[in-house]
Copies of this chain bind each other. A is one copy, B any other.
Amino acid sequence: MPIQSFLPPHRILMGPGPSDVSPQVLQALSRPIVGHLDPLFIGMMDEVKQLLKYAFQTENDFTIAVSAPGSAGMEACFVNLIEPGDKVIVCRNGVFGDRMRENVIRAGAEAIMVDDEWGSPVTPSKVKEAFEAHPDVKILAFVHAETSTGALSDAQALSRIAIDNNALTIVDAVTSLGGVPLKVDEWQLDAVYSGSQKCLSCVPGLSPVTFSSKAIEKIQSRKTPIQSWFLDQSLVLGYWSGEGKRSYHHTAPVNSLYALHESLLMLKQEGLANAWERHAEMHQKLKQGLEKLGFEFVVEEQSRLPQLNAVYIPEGVDDAKVRTTLLEEYNLEIGAGLGALAGKAWRIGLMGYAARNENVSLCLRALEETLQQ
């Protein structure tokens, strides 16, 4: 049969992302395309910057969306701030800490690993010890909200340690932005990246990033060129700069940026604190329901992310079969375990537009029915 237009069903996305996208954002996505150098579009990009500053709680001038997924936002932070031979402390308590390590090594730098158990937050005292053992470290990299386990680390405490040791911070906020407090300026974080498809509930493909003035100084005082042309933020800055002439770097993903603009506007209209509260409330309801069904959480209560609930798969339950039933019979997606938790845990996301009362109720009921089969 010849290939036909792809007509997807209406899924409910409660995995680790992408999350549900609201009809309002999908509508924005499909508005007529304009040129990427059109003055109207440039005006919209300036608004995206303003809205991102609000979401990140920062006044950083360099606050933009990288024209690629979160993995590219991660790489943008590492290749711009790291020079070959630099030492970087990398905290690893899940899949994404390990990916940070890959980035450090491929940029020709040395990664000093600080390991914590999967499901635990990063232990600040271990980071302190690593700095004591390696006083010439220039950067501390850690994941704020580990998407592979659902653990939240204390970004403010970790940042304080880096500052005390004259190091910059690179922070993975892919899953935290919009879902739990993230205060870039108050916590003095230096390079922070996120993804459009988690608690912002935009389509995947964009990576919001923000760089502090200290991070920009570091980039401007590099002795070696940035190894990536596409991710060279000194060039990208000329493209996103609102001042007068805009220099062409690459073609922005115009329609995806319409969607990001709309999703950030929805966040602004709801209010960040209200969004955090909504995620927390929905988590409480989900948690109580899951515990009644006998589930155990991977992460201790005090470090648990409301927007990503990792629970152990009950003994004797067929992982893939349950997820397939939920998908095929309820149009409900929950996430499989990743890395060390593959086959052992499920990840139930309550991200952005997905963190709604009706979703939690459906998820609990569908799990109950499916596990009884």
Contact = CB atoms under 8 A, between A and B. Distances in A.
Given A31-B8, A33-B13, A228 B75 contact: yes
A125 interface: no
B18 A31 contact: no
A260 to B, nearest CB: 10
Q: Which of A51, A103, A106 has most chain B Cβ within 10 Å?
A: A106
A229 B29 contact: no
A36 interface: yes
A349 to B, nearest CB: 10
Given A6-B258, A67-B68, A69-B253, A29 B32 contact: no
A222 to B, nearest CB: 13
Contact of A32 (B17, B26, B68): B26
A250 interface: yes
B21 A6 contact: no
* Copies of this chain in the oligomer: 2
A309 interface: no
A314 to B, nearest CB: 22
A69 B5 contact: no
Contacts of A255: 21, 26, 29, 203-205, 256
Contacts of A37: 336
A15 interface: yes
A317 interface: no
Interface string A2-18: 01111111110101011
A258 to B, nearest CB: 6
Contacts of A106: 225-229
Nearest to A39: B327
A40 B228 contact: no
A69 to B, nearest CB: 5
A32 B9 contact: yes
B67 A203 contact: no
B256 A3 contact: no
Contacts of A366: none
A340 interface: no
A163 interface: no
Interface string A21-39: 1000011111111111111
A159 to B, nearest CB: 24
A71 interface: yes
A252 interface: yes
Given A229-B103, A251-B70, A265 B31 contact: no
B261 A33 contact: no
A21 B44 contact: no
A247 to B, nearest CB: 11
A96 to B, nearest CB: 12
A8 B226 CA distance: 35
A359 interface: no
A242 to B, nearest CB: 14
Contact of A6 (B31, B69, B74, B248): B31
Interface of A: 3-11, 13, 15, 17-18, 20-21, 26-41, 44, 47, 50-51, 67-72, 74-75, 99, 102-103, 105-107, 195, 197, 203-205, 225-230, 248-256, 258, 261-262, 265, 268, 327, 333, 336, 338
